[in-house]
Structure formats: structure tokens, C-alpha cells
Amino acid sequence: MQKEFLKFKNSTVFEGMTSIRAIIAGIDQGTNNRRIEKIYFDGEKFKKISKEVGYLRAVAEKYGYDLIRTDAAFLDEITLGNTHGGIVAEASERDFPALVKDAILPSGFYAMIQGIEDPYNFGYSLRSLFACGCDGIILDGRNWMSAAGVVCRSSAGASERFSIYNATDVEACELFASLGYKIVCAHEDTDNLLGEVELSGPVLLIVGGEKRGISKAVIERADTLVKIPYAREFRASLSAASATTMFAYEIMRQRRGKR
């Protein structure tokens, strides 16, 4: 129960090579100013992870971290999961700059997710958005980037490779609208169906969590509300992560070949 509770607290412990490589990729791309401070590896698994440890040793000076041999008991103590594969990093906090006009691509695809109650679902949403070509994420109020290690693992590293900015929901809508973006909200109270709405141009996608949804201020500023059509009567909502995946894929499908 203690580890389950800790997933909701601040965490800059990153588990496994996928997460560590994502931090390095973000640093190299200039989208992430997080610093890796220490990387631990399980000495008892060295034969199995020797290739990864060799790589981490080779680039340790470049990225400025200490590479430390330890054991499974120590790694289990500092991690939340059991999928680290014997390699774990401790890193610094990351800065998220304020959203400004110059940071926004002229014809991009950006997303803001409101009201998700769990860091894993937040990470799953970022994974889908990254895979479908989203150019950046807007953080508004409560989000799960403080639980960075959990979000990184559940997003398969996407959270560390994304360009991520801070803005209130109203500020973001007004700024993107001023640049000619369509503000699109996933919402059930509409006749507009996903797959029938034009989404090939510059888009700011806003998806709400299952409980709190999208704020009224954002709904009032949306250009379009769009809902996901179902094949049968189904009164429940999809999870925010599932809805995000469907919207992200449709936006990718329409934008393919038009950028």
C-alpha cells in the first residue's frame, strides 16, 4: 500500500532503460532540461544487462551522472514497480516554460488533458499523443508531471520527449485561437461525430477526465465539440486515455501528407 500511495507523490526516480533513454533523447533534442544525477544497476544482473551498462558508462561523462553498482534490494526500495530490469535513474526536476506564441508551430497539433485522476492514465494518454504526431502538451492546473517517473514509464518515455508548456486553460485557448488554431473539445453533448469533422488543420485538442471533464470556460471558447460514435447503445464514457487515443489517431489520419 505504501508504494501505491507513493505513486501519487513527487517522483523523479526513473525505472528501466526506456525511461532513461527518453530523458537522454529529450536532452539531446532540447525539449527537456532534466538532469540525470545517478544511475544504479543491479550487479547480480550484470551479465544480462552488460550491453546497457556499457552504453551508460560510455556516455556518463557527457550527461554528468554517476553510475553506481548496487543490488536488487536497494532498487526495490527506491522504485514503485518491478519492471526496471535492474537499471534505475535518479534525476532532477524539470522546468516547464510558460506557453508563448513563438513556441507554437504555425500549423501544429497540440493537446491539453484536463482532470485525469491517475498518473498512469495521464501517461497512457501522452503515449498515444506522441505516437500520433502531437507537437506539444499544455499543462493546466492539476496534472501528473510531478510523478514524473510513473508518467514516464506508463508513457513509454513519451513524457520526457515531448515539448511541454504551462498555461491556464483560458490562456491556452485564447493564444491558440489568435494563431488560427481550431479549438476542439472531446464532449458528448454534441451531434458532431469523430470521423466526420474536419481536423486536418492546426488543432488544439482538449480532452477531459472521466470525473471532472473539461472546464466550462474551455467549452465556451471551443470552436467545435466532437463526440466519439459508438456501434451500439452505451451510456458510459470511454476512459480519458482511450478517448485521447481515438482523437489523436483521427487527427493523425486527416493530417497525414498535409504537413
% of the chain residues with pLDDT over 70: 92
How many residues can be counted in the chain? 259
Q: Does position 10 have pLDDT exceeding 90, yes or no?
A: no
In single-letter form, the type of residue at position 85 comes to G
Q: What are the tens digits of pLDDT across the range 194-227? A: 999 999 999 999 998 766 778 899 999 999 999 9
CB atoms within 10 A of CB 94: 18
Q: What is the pLDDT, as a whole number, of residue 147?
A: 87
User: What's the CATH code of the domain at 21?
Assistant: 3.30.1330
Q: Is residue 116 located within the same domain as residue 190?
A: yes
Q: What is the pLDDT, as a whole number, of residue 3?
A: 53
What DSSP state is assigned to residue 103? G
- List helix spans (H) across 64-193: 72-78, 119-131, 148-154, 158-161, 169-178
Q: Does position 54 have pLDDT exceeding 90, yes or no?
A: yes
Model pTM above 0.85: yes
Q: CA-CA distance, 126 to 90, in Å (whole number)? A: 22
For the beta sheet containing 36-42, the strands, ordered from the edge strand earlier in sequence to the opposite edge, are 13-15, 87-91, 36-42, 66-70
Residue 148 within a domain:
yes
Q: Is residue 229 located within the same domain as residue 143?
A: yes
Q: What is the pLDDT, as a whole number, of residue 1?
A: 44
CB 204 within 8 A of CB 112: yes
- As a dihedral over the C-alpha atoms of residue 214, residue 132, residue 117, residue 163, rounded to 10 degrees, the angle is -90
Q: What is the pLDDT, as a whole number, of residue 225?
A: 97
Q: What is the pLDDT, as a whole number, of residue 9?
A: 60
How many domains in the chain?
2
Q: CA-CA distance, 199 to 185, in Å (whole number)? A: 12
Q: What is the pLDDT, as a whole number, of residue 83?
A: 75
Q: Is residue 231 located within the same domain as residue 165?
A: yes
Mean pLDDT of the chain: 91
Q: Does position 247 have pLDDT exceeding 90, yes or no?
A: yes
Residue 96 within a domain:
no
User: Pick the residue with more confidence: 1 or 53?
Assistant: 53
Q: How far apart are the first and last CA of the chain?
A: 47
Q: CA-CA distance, 111 to 136, in Å (whole number)? A: 7
Q: Is residue 218 located within the same domain as residue 155?
A: yes
**Quick check: helix, strand or coil at residue 164?**
strand
CB atoms within 10 A of CB 25: 14
Domain ranges, residue 192: 101-255
Sign of torsion over alpha carbons 229, 231, 232, 237: negative
Q: Is residue 59 located within the same domain as residue 80?
A: yes
Average pLDDT over residues 43-71: 96
Residue 251 within a domain:
yes
Average pLDDT over residues 237-254: 94
Q: CA-CA distance, 126 to 123, in Å (whole number)? A: 5
Q: Is residue 72 located within the same domain as residue 137?
A: no
